[in-house]
Each structure stands twice: as C-alpha cells, then as structure tokens.
Amino acid sequence: MSEVREHDSVCTDNSDEFPYKVPGQYFYEGVLFNQDVRKSVLESRDSIECREDDVFIVTYPKSGTTWILEIANLLLHPEKLDGGSEAQERSVPFLEFHLTGGSVDHIENMKKMASPRLIKSHLAEHLFPTQAFTKKSKIIYVGRNPKDNAVSYYHFYKSVSGFGYYKGSWDAFLQMYLKDHIVWGGWSHHCLGWWKHNHESNVLYLKYEDVKKDERGTVEKIASFLGKEVDQQTLERIVTHCSFESMKKNPAVNREDAADVDSSVSPFMRKGIVGDWKNHFTVAQNEQIEQYYKERLGNTDLQFEW
C-alpha cells in the first residue's frame, strides 16, 4: 500500500489566498465544491444504499470519465451498439451532482434502477459511500498525469457554468491547482486516496495514459473485471465506438449542446491526447508542477507518465 502523508489526506480552506470563487462555493471535510454538488449526498454517505453488483466509474475530473463510462456501459449492455446511444447524463446517474435549479435526484433514481447499476462519481475516497466498500461494489478508478489533467481542467473551468466560466489566466489556475484549491479537491489526494484500494479485488485502477496506449487491451481488462465474456466482433465494435474520434462525433457522450457547457470556449471533449501540457507550460511552471509531483508522489509506488 502506498504511503499517504498528512498533507495529502486533508485539504484546507485557503479561500483567502485565491480571490476566484466558483458559484456556490463551499468546503466539506477539506474538499472544495461548487453549487452543482449536493451537500446532502456528502452528509449521507454512510446511509446511501449500494449493491454488490453496482459498478462505479470514479475519476478525478478530466481524466477520461466519459470514455471509460461508455466502455463499461457497452460491456454491460452490448445491445446498445445496435439500438443507438442514449445520452450518458440520462442513462448514468452522477452520484453527487445536480444542475442548480434542476429536478433530477440521482440518489432517488438509483433506487429505481435495475441491477447492475452503472454510476459515475468524482468523489474522493474519504467521501465515498461506505457501503460501496463494505459490500464490495465494483469500482473502476481512472487517474491521469497532473500536467495534462491541469490543462484539461483549466479549459473545462473556462467553458462550464458551474465553474463560473472562469476568465482568469492559465497561471492563476495552475496556482490554485497546485494548492488544492480546486473543485472536487486536490489531484494528489484524490489519486492517492483511491490508490490505497488498488490491490482489492473489487477495484480496478486504470491510468489514462495506459488506456491511450492500448484501447483494445483496456476494453478486455474492463470486461474481465466485470465478468463479461465478449466475442471478438463485439469487442472490436466497442473499441471502434469508444475511440476518441468516434466519441467526439457522438452527441450522446460529447455534450456539445448541454446548457451548462459553452463549447465555443472549449468543447467538452477537447483533444484527448497525452502531452498537450507542452503547449501550455512555461519552463518555470513545469518546474513548479515537477516539484509538486515529487513532494506528493515521490515516496509512493503510484507513478504517471507524460
């Protein structure tokens, strides 16, 4: 098990240090959230009912969530390859999320769903429903290297209403990122918290960079984890369907028309590559994040490529 040090296990309310505020900003147990995250879900995590055959896709934001969700959805329901895609936000509940002013209650919807349920979340490990651990629900976690993740999250901040269509500079955003002053909490705390469960039989820990290297192998790995036998033809169809190029053209997963996303600023699915950080980081900024990475992950066995 990786060593998780004290400064990685608790974030602090450092709002005074950073003037930018996201809409409805609040801290809960050391993690920054915006108005789109239901505090009631965080407060009731010990009573949220989970099932043994639940499948949770858990990620730090902008780490391939939609991609892995689509793969898992098609493995659980291969008939959807022929029946047309249903928008993910309607077919897959987002555990802790709601659009402000909206009427969707994902917890209530989850209770009505047939098993196996596929559920999405960005919650840190220490805020996750306790029954998911005690009942050994299946959890697929996806982490992404902090350089590309920071860039992708920056563009997401700029294009989504829940982040207030961030207008600040890239450098100002990076400083918030490095100090864990970011919605859903600090990157290192999130990745390391879930890494503690890496060797548990009900947890599959994936890295975005590995998925990009071997998409077909990833589909096979997820199928095996879910206990699904898939014939070669279906496997190839899922791989093709879930390529970044195909998904970017698929309105069911690429939320170009979503009311809360300004795709003219940055599309929901932007580039999906490894190494885009080189187009954004200055030498000084790269040195900063290298130091951050060394301090947070240097003494652990969790390592990322970029």
Residue 44 lies in a domain: no
| SS3 label, residue 33 | strand
What pLDDT tens digit does each residue of the chain (306 aa) get? 334 443 444 556 777 788 899 999 999 999 999 999 999 999 999 999 999 999 999 999 999 998 999 999 999 998 888 765 565 566 788 999 876 555 567 788 888 899 999 999 999 999 999 999 999 999 999 999 999 999 999 999 999 999 999 999 999 999 999 999 999 999 999 999 999 999 999 999 999 999 999 999 999 999 999 999 999 999 999 998 888 777 766 555 544 545 456 555 545 445 657 788 999 999 999 999 999 999 999 999 999 998
Task: Output the domain CATH number for residue 141.
Answer: 3.40.50.300
Please give the pLDDT value at position 267.
Answer: 52
Residue 99 lies in a domain: yes
How many C-beta atoms surround the C-beta of residue 51 within 10 A?
Answer: 16
Number of domains in the chain: 1
Residue count of the chain: 306
Residue 104 lies in a domain: yes
Global pTM reads 0.86
Residue 305 lies in a domain: no
Return the exposure string of 155-188: e unless at least 16 CB atoms fall within 10 Å of the residue's CB, then b: bbbbbbbbbbebebebeebbbbbbebbbbbbbbb
Residue 84 lies in a domain: yes
Residues with a known catalytic role: 122
Q: Where are the beta strands (DSSP E) in 26-125?
A: 26-28, 31-33, 55-59, 118-121
Residue 303 lies in a domain: no
How many C-beta atoms surround the C-beta of residue 244 within 10 A?
Answer: 16
Please give the pLDDT value at position 275.
Answer: 83
Taking alpha carbons only, the member of 208, 54, 29, 33 closest to residue 125 is 29
Which residue range is the domain that position 72 belongs to?
Answer: 6-27+49-297
Q: Which residues lie across from 94 on neighbouring strands? A: 120
